[in-house]
Amino acid sequence: MRRAWYLFVLIFALVLEPTDTPAFFSRVMREDGKTYILDATGERWDVTQAESIGFKPEGFQYGLGKNAFTPLDDSYLTDDTDRVSQRLRVLGVVENAEAQAYSIPRLRGHEIANSRIGSKAIAVGY
């Protein structure tokens, strides 16, 4: 048990070691008078206008890129509430007389659910 604790402390210290490089630094590309940053997938994002008003493209932080995670859809929704804990945290959506609840633990791994409530298409984000 003591060895596991020391290993945990060592790993924690290495993770928190200060560096001069941000976790997600931007690769900057300039082409034909435009300035782009490249995300982790290699997709280019035009930041020319931001640079023109004083922002430094190297300072931009970005996520993983488009389609880096799979959104949920309505296939996981159910009317069966027998096994739902009373303490479960949810995001609720109400439209007219229809209501839906989206579990926070499930949204945490996907960040967004593409859904419908009535005839409206909605996106539920967390």
pLDDT one-digit tens code per residue, 37-57:
988 778 888 999 999 999 999
Closest CA to 112 of 56, 82, 53, 72: 72
Q: What is the pLDDT of residues 54-102, one digit of tens each?
A: 999 988 877 666 767 777 777 777 777 788 888 989 888 998 888 888 8
Per-residue pLDDT at 21: 47
| DSSP conformation class of 25 | P
Kindly state the helix (H) or strand (E) to which residue 125 belongs, with its residue range: strand 120-125
Tell me the whole-structure pTM to 2 decimals. 0.48
Q: Is the pLDDT of residue 30 over 90?
A: yes
Angle at 107 between CA 105 and CA 111, to 5 degrees: 140
Q: Provide mean pLDDT across the span 5-33.
A: 68
Reported as a pLDDT band with limits 50, 70 and 90, residue 11 is: confident
Q: Count CB-CB contacts under 10 A for residue 49.
A: 10
**Helix, strand, coil proportions of the chain in percent (round to 5)?**
25, 30, 45
- Tell me the two tokens of residue 10: 């060592």
Give phi and psi for 26, each to the nearest 5: -90, 130
